[in-house]
A and B are shown apart, each in its own frame.
Chain A
Amino acid sequence: MRVLVVEDHVALADRIGEGLRDAGFAVDVVYHGEAALLSTARTDYDVVVLDRDLPSVHGDRVCRRLVCDGSPSRILMLTAATAVEDRVDGLELGADDYLGKPFAFQELIARIRALGRRGPGSPAVVRRGDLVVDRARHRASRAGIPLTLTRKEFGVLERLAGAAGAVVSAEELLEHVWDAHADPFSNTVAVTVGRLRRKLGDPPLIETVVGVGYRL
């Protein structure tokens, strides 16, 4: 899942990014509202973790812009303003969730995962034959045997399973599973898909549609 963290406190922002990467998300971190608008215009993030009190462009305006532009990103507001009015305000601006500071990091992770699952056709647990992908717990198993997957492998599998049989392009995988530092011209997606195929075992589940992408 691709997450954008927008937080003006640099040390805190980097720490949140680190924690989310540890939890298996592909994370980009920006430190002010203007950069957030630039990043969201370039990439369709699954979840945007948005601090409200942002310099240059206020978090509320970033939120408004994303909602008005019909961005598919889910917005999680993360702010120190935790009074009931503030929470109501934030949600009414179009945020999908609201978490007050200070927060337990586990809760942030759980909420981001919950937001990523939202929307039609993306249930928490996806089954394809004997393959089970549990997106809430970040686990996968085939024929009852748990699979040990790296974060990127799980990300690719989750994306393919979520596509419900449609073809997923390598670019889409790169956009949602890797962060902004990934080199778009490398064969990193192909390599990861290859490793995933080996781990999933026989009979093969992932099909390559030449020139288009992959299908589960």
Chain B
Amino acid sequence: MLLYTSLFALGGAALVLVTYVLVAQTLPGATTASTPGAIQQSIGQCIDAAQTQGSSASDAKVQCSALYATGVQAGAAAQRSATLAHLLTYSLLSLAGVTLLAAGGGWIVAGRILRPVHRLTAAARTASEQNLSHRIALEGPHDELRELADNFDTMLERLDRAFTSQRQFIANASHELRTPLTVMRTAMDVVLAKPEPTRDELVSMADDIRQAVDHAERLIEVLLVLARNDQARALIEPLDLAAVAEDALDGRRADGITTIATLDEAPVTGDGVLLERLVANLLDNAERYNVPGGTVEITTTADDAASVLRVINTGVVVPTDMVQRLFLPFSRLDDRVRHNGFGLGLTLVSSIAAAHGGTVDATAMPTGGLDISVRLPRRDGTATPTSPAAAPAAQ
């Protein structure tokens, strides 16, 4: 504010100076400095000459005209200095007035302009104190500040969503881990509370505990893969989805379900272990939610931009609104099979696909079952491998 006022005052002063100098140069210069005494003398001579008319009339005319010229010059000089003095005085006065006005007006305008900035600052402070639900919601014209505030709101919203989903994920994970813990604890509490537990009872307790430990172990493994997926990985292996799918299909045998594989070349760049996991998870799901005597179709193809893996399975009809929820952690299509899986299969699939810069699309088949396709960037001779760090930025 002070800076603005001083700059304004300096600029004003410079303007006054320039105007003064320019005006001073433009006004006719005072070359003959005739004193009032000399003028008085000339007037006297002129009157004399006028009184002694006749012989020296022409002489008097000359003298008078000279006198006239001197008078005009003196008048001009006096006017010039008066004008310049006035100019300087009024300029300085106006400058002082305008500077004061500018300071006052600037104060008000700056307050108005800076108000959204203050709100931005306050919002940033609130957000940094772990409350991401606050929004600035700036109103007014669509100017730069409004744009900044809107962008800030969008960023807060994305952060909020990310944190919420992460919290939800952790809550769900701990919820899921409680189940095996409860099984273990209950088995021990119940059997060891018996006065004389029989061998069979002890064996059944150990059996329960082993199953619970297995369950917890598998769950932790999946959670670790999910967590690791978010970190940067060197996804640089040149791979063919057809080969990856073949590896995943190898040794897999689902009772009463026919698997039809059509595997064409589908070149990609990525991590072989993760991609095999992706295919295996899709197949697991397709078999788990299938109907007896159903089919699982797996195809790999490539178009100009992408290599596509598609898994279609028969099964029960999936409501359309359920389809997107399937990708959320710990959601299951059918509650009755909850203890066979963790509800993390498709979450893992979309996480691995995202790490490879790809996308997953799921459609519910009208006749029942799901059609899931995974599109990954196609690898060709010149393509640079997609790094996981670049993937989110490209979206």
List residues of A whose CB falls within 8 A of some B CB.
Answer: 8-9, 11-12, 15-16, 18-19, 22, 32, 54-56, 80-83, 101-106
Residues of B in contact with A, size category: 20 to 34
Interface pairs (10), CB distance under 8 Å: A15-B187, A15-B208, A19-B193, A22-B190, A55-B336, A80-B179, A101-B182, A102-B182, A104-B189, A105-B185
Interface string of B174-202 (1 = CB under 8 A from A): 01101101111111011001100000000
Instruction: Give complex CA distance A72, B219 in Å.
Output: 40
Find chain A residues with CB under 8 A from B185 CB: 102-105
* A15-B208, A105-B193 known; A80+B186 contact, CB < 8 A: no
Verify A56–B335 contact, CB threshold 8 A. yes
Nearest CB in chain A: distance from B54 CB, A: 126
| B186 close to A16 (CB less than 8 A) | yes
- Residue in B closest to A10 when the chains form the complex, CB atoms: B339
* Given A15-B208, A81-B175, A101-B178, CB of A22 within 8 Å of CB of B183: no
> Is the CB–CB distance between B186 and A15 below 8 Å?
yes
Given the known inter-chain contacts A80-B178, A80-B179, A102-B178, please indicate yes or no for A11 contacting B338, CB distance below 8 A.
no
> Which residues of B lie under 8 Å from residue A16 when comparing CB positions?
186, 190
Residue B211 CB within 8 A of the other chain: yes
User: In the assembly, what is the distance between CA of A101 and CA of B178, in Å?
Assistant: 6
Question: Smallest Cβ distance from B9 to chain A, in angstroms?
Answer: 62
Shortest CB–CB separation between residue A101 and chain B, in angstroms? 4
Which of B186, B211, B336 contacts A105 (CB under 8 A)? B186
- A32 and B339 CA atoms in complex are apart in Å by 13
- Contact flag A9-B193 (CB < 8 Å), given A15-B186, A80-B175, A101-B182: no
User: Which chain B residues lie closer than 8 Å to A82 at the CB level?
Assistant: 178
**Complex alpha-carbon distance, A32 and B336, angstroms:** 9
Q: How many Å lie between the Cα of A55 and that of B181 in the bound state? A: 20
A12-B183, A105-B186, A105-B189 given. 16 additional CB < 8 A pairs? A8-B338, A11-B211, A15-B183, A15-B186, A15-B187, A16-B190, A19-B186, A19-B189, A22-B193, A22-B194, A55-B336, A80-B178, A82-B178, A102-B185, A102-B186, A106-B189
Q: Which residues of A contact B171 (CB under 8 A)?
A: 83
